[in-house]
Chains A and B, each alone.
Chain A
């Protein structure tokens, strides 16, 4: 298993159509190593579709996705899978396997891995789930299962991590732990892309934010650039404020507009 150090991922003029409906329209963005990026937007804005396109799970109608300078459509699927790991919004195991076996599935793109057990253990440690290792996944709570799935995302050590609402079903403590884990991954040079509904968490932990509205890229930039009262009010119809506290941005929501 050869470690690929860092890798950027970008999309150019990405458009996705499903039947008559345009789900994503002309989206161009670049995600760099060391950056933690949140993709935000109201329900149905196209967050999940954008992440699925970036992870090569959905093929865009037009436009391209690049890993580094390489068009992903030209990469063999297993090689691409070694570069980017993806956690969908909902993922239900079909079989009642042990949690550690589920985590090990994240190593499949790498073929034969010699230190499989250690890697699985390390990944479980990162999400505070070592104690769950031998439990059957069908007996885990929603939050416990999510942590095990996160370990599956991390276990391959892919340079690009893409997770669709990874914090769903997690309690506050584990949500914070999760964001810290992703922050640490980004600080270690990974390219991390998360779809998030929790704007305070996005403001606090992310370097960049992409704001989607009706399949279009409404804004992208730092939290201060994107989470402005005007833009949030316009897109979500909610009053909000971005304050600074102990050197970090703090996002607070108010009433409906």
Chain B
């Protein structure tokens, strides 16, 4: 790691506690942060309860999910050799979303707090497995994308059907809100549930960093450098499924983070797909936690959904990409 990379690593690491403090200060009631922090976990003063039971898990969850989406996006772009790829392309998000929607649809989600996230992760893994099987043995990147588009289209059709025949207005509202993503009312339970899946995903992606690097020169060269066979693509696909599936399971679908974050980091840490993994994880954590601070500070009768905020960040980003491409800068 070069000195410059180390500098950026430390800068991102230093920015995270700042974002955390901002998140802890944000909310409908004003809380004296420092005393509440010092009172500790077990105190039952209202400030401490708000801070430790409501704001802290929410802020940490936003970071964790941001990191998962960031690393998932970087891995996806590396594997498909395409800067416009994002995890949703392989049906990870829609697989998780459909599983959750079906649960909400049948009103089963409230039977147990664990049921929805666990089934959402299973949905993500199932969707990726379908994409993998459909693409077939030794599939090229373009065939994987094509299979992903096909599976995605099918899952979207099923979701539309579920919305169409939603049993009640409440169920429909729940489904729509869930599709827009949110960190509202998320506690330690959700954080602890998502954490192992996201860690497994991140670990699988970490092990495939050299494969992603070798793919910079194309699949043929990657094979000649010793990264042939089915093992490596599987490692990446399931790494993405675990990380992104885990985050969709607790926070709903949040778009654009996986697409935008690697782009933001490339000018800073360079184009190396291996280095981009950790950089995108840190930057994703930072971006999503700041986006959630924004959500918490927007005044209104209804809570703004985080998915809407990230879409507002993502869309202008696309405009900027087009403008810079037109000016002849590399995409």
**A-to-B contact residues, CB < 8 Å:** 52, 55-57, 77-82, 84-88, 91-98, 101-102, 105-106, 108-109, 136, 138, 152
Contact = CB atoms under 8 A, between A and B. Distances in A.
A136 B329 CA distance: 12
A102 to B, nearest CB: 7
Given A88-B218, A96-B271, A101-B270, A55 B224 contact: yes
Contact of A94 (B81, B225, B270): B81
B141 to A, nearest CB: 10
Given A77-B228, A95-B272, A105-B221, 17 more contacts: A56-B224, A56-B228, A57-B228, A77-B226, A77-B227, A84-B224, A93-B217, A94-B82, A94-B218, A95-B273, A101-B271, A101-B272, A102-B217, A105-B216, A108-B213, A108-B225, A152-B217
B220 interface: yes
Contacts of A79: 226
Contact of B224 (A86, A97, A102): A86
Interface string B202-218: 00000000100111111
A157 to B, nearest CB: 14
Given A94-B215, A97-B271, A57 B224 contact: yes
A96 B225 contact: no
Given A77-B229, A97-B271, A105-B225, A91 B330 contact: no
Given A77-B229, A94-B81, A108-B210, A138 B330 contact: yes
B223 interface: yes
Contact of A108 (B226, B229, B266): B226
Contacts of A78: 226
A136 B221 contact: no
A7 B228 CA distance: 22
A227 to B, nearest CB: 29
A109 B221 contact: no
A133 to B, nearest CB: 14
Contact of B221 (A77, A88, A96, A98): A88
Given A56-B228, A97-B272, A108-B226, A136 B216 contact: no
Nearest to B81: A94
Interface in B223-280: 223-229, 266, 270-273
Give 5 closest A-B pairs by Cβ, nearest first: A81-B226, A95-B271, A94-B81, A78-B226, A86-B224
Nearest to B215: A94
Contact of B217 (A55, A77, A85, A105): A105
A145 to B, nearest CB: 11
Contacts of B330: 96, 136, 138
B213 A88 contact: no
Nearest to B271: A95
A209 to B, nearest CB: 23
16 contacts: A57-B220, A77-B227, A80-B226, A81-B224, A82-B226, A84-B224, A86-B224, A88-B218, A91-B218, A94-B215, A95-B271, A97-B216, A105-B213, A108-B213, A109-B226, A136-B330
B169 to A, nearest CB: 48
A56 B220 CA distance: 10
A97 to B, nearest CB: 4
Contacts of A138: 330
Contacts of A80: 226
B218 A105 contact: no
Contacts of A136: 330
**Which of A52, A95, A109, A136 is the most central at the interface, judged by chain B CB atoms within 10 Å of its CB?**
A95
Contact of B214 (A52, A87, A92, A108): A108
B77 to A, nearest CB: 9
Nearest to B218: A91
A138 B331 CA distance: 11
A109 B225 contact: yes
Contacts of B224: 55-57, 81, 84-86, 88
